């Protein structure tokens, strides 16, 4: 081993330990709760494996995003908070940031795409955040938020590509390991990669035999594109059904961690997501948003192609901020996702 390689390994080890320490000490429970790990008995029987849901829908904002937002704000200096904070979000980071800012007495401005479901926009305002609707995608909202931050001297809070945000999301893995130490595979939804990066960097240090699989929507697979290119790249467009993961480009920080610690990536269709929304509802009476059901759709696709049985498989239910008017579409499409009928033209 050369001196350069030795230094690189030492630097990587130091980074690993730093993430581990920061996740263990993250003050997220000032505002977030430890969510349940729910055993899906009917689905377990159907898939011949032990299926669990990590229930981030139980957070005060019905999404895991509160963890990263609060951890980031709690690490800001007083000077960084004077003019307030600003962020771009498709909805869940917005709600988490608005509630976290309210808790800490910081003014929050959220730039959201015009396509954001009303339920998410209304909740941001209810939590005390100022909403600005700009563009038709996350990336357009993100560009606007950068300009607003410069013009108004606000501190920009990135929804996923930030060390403190990644650390906050990593507390999901800390809870999971305490609740179910012998998990074989964890399925994590992927948008910008913050949740996957935080979970992966924590679990691979304390439970290296646990396999970690990222799950993407087929029409928003920015991680798959980045892995193929060897670096983050822009998708030409993204689908908006799973709006919580409709991100054109994976984060730089998140991609570097995912490359090191994630075992595989699965993509799923809209119909498969809808089928998983139905499965979650039948087992828990919770209506997951499309991004929230993404990981269970990936889990089911994994089981369909794997010969292994009797494994402990965990899917992260990342959010439940579903726009009511989307339910009709989900109901129609889930039957296709379950392969119960064919659509003929």
- Report pLDDT for 335: 65
Contact 124, 110 (CB under 8 A): yes
User: Strand runs (DSSP E) across 208-318, as ranges?
Assistant: 211-217, 264-268, 312-317
**Residue in the structure block whose two tokens are 């690189």:** 8
Q: Is 65 known to be catalytic?
A: yes
Q: Is 343 contained in some domain?
A: no
User: Nearest to residue 189, comparing CAs of 225, 163, 216, 159?
Assistant: 216
For strands 108-112 and 50-55, give the pairing.
Answer: unpaired
Count of helices and strands (H, E) across the chain:
14, 10
- Report pLDDT for 336: 61
- Report pLDDT for 339: 57
Q: Is 186 contained in some domain?
A: yes
- Tokens of residue 278, six digits: 């139905």
Q: Is 318 known to be catalytic?
A: yes
Same domain for 171 and 58 = yes
Catalytic one of 54, 65, 72, 278: 65
CA distance 303 to 45: 12
Same domain for 35 and 133 = no
Which domain, by its residues, includes 252?
3-63+163-337
CA distance 215 to 188: 6
Q: What angle do CA 182, 188, 189 make, to 5 degrees?
A: 165
User: Nearest to residue 310, comparing CAs of 54, 47, 53, 52?
Assistant: 47
pTM tops 0.85: yes
CA torsion 62→316→193→100, rounded to 10°?
A: 30
Same domain for 198 and 320 = yes
Question: Quick count: other Cβ atoms within 10 Å of Cβ 8?
Answer: 12
**Residue in the structure block whose two tokens are 């992927």:** 190
Kindly provide the b/e burial profile for residues 165-186, where b requires at least 16 CB atoms within 10 angstroms of the residue's own CB. bbbbbbbbbbbbbeebeebebb
Domain holding 34: CATH number?
3.40.50.1100
Same domain for 57 and 92 = no
* Tens of each residue's pLDDT in the chain, 345 residues: 676 666 666 677 778 889 999 999 999 999 999 999 999 999 999 999 999 999 999 999 999 999 999 999 999 999 999 999 999 887 788 889 999 999 999 999 999 888 887 878 888 899 999 999 998 887 788 899 999 999 999 999 999 999 999 999 999 999 999 999 999 999 999 999 999 999 999 999 999 999 999 999 999 999 999 999 999 999 998 888 887 888 889 999 999 999 999 999 999 999 999 999 999 999 999 999 999 999 999 999 999 999 899 999 999 999 988 877 777 778 777 766 555 544 433
CA distance 32 to 27: 9
């Amino acid at each position: 081993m050369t001196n350069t390689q030795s230094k690189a390994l030492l630097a990587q080890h130091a980074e690993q330990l730093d993430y581990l320490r920061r996740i263990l000490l993250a003050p997220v429970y000032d505002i977030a709760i430890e969510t349940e790990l729910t055993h899906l008995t009917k689905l377990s029987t159907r898939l011949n494996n032990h299926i669990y849901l990590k229930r981030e829908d139980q957070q005060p904002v019905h999404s895991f995003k509160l963890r990263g937002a609060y951890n980031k704000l709690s690490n800001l200096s007083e000077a960084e908070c004077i003019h307030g904070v600003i962020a771009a979000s498709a909805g869940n980071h917005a709600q988490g940031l608005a509630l976290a800012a309210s808790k800490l007495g910081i003014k929050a401005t959220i730039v959201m795409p015009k396509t954001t479901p009303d339920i998410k926009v209304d909740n941001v305002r209810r939590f005390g955040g100022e909403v600005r609707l700009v563009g038709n995608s996350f990336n357009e909202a993100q560009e606007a938020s950068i300009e607003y931050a410069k013009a108004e001297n606000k501190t920009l809070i990135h929804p996923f590509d930030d060390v403190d945000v990644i650390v906050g999301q990593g507390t999901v893995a800390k809870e999971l390991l305490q609740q179910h130490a012998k998990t074989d595979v964890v399925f994590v939804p992927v948008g910008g990669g913050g949740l996957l990066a935080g979970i992966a960097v924590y679990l691979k240090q304390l439970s290296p035999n646990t396999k970690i699989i990222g799950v993407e929507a087929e029409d928003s697979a920015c991680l798959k594109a980045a892995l193929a290119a060897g670096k983050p790249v822009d998708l030409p467009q993204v689908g908006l059904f799973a709006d919580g993961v409709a991100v054109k480009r994976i984060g730089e920080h998140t991609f570097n961690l995912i490359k090191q610690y994630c075992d595989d990536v699965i993509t799923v269709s809209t119909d498969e997501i809808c089928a998983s929304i139905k499965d979650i509802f039948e087992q828990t009476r919770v209506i997951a948003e499309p991004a929230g059901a993404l990981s269970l759709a990936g889990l089911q696709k994994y089981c369909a192609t794997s010969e292994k049985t009797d494994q402990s498989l965990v899917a992260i239910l990342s959010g439940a901020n579903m726009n009511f008017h989307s339910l009709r579409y989900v109901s129609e499409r889930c039957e296709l996702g379950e392969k119960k009928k064919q659509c003929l033209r």
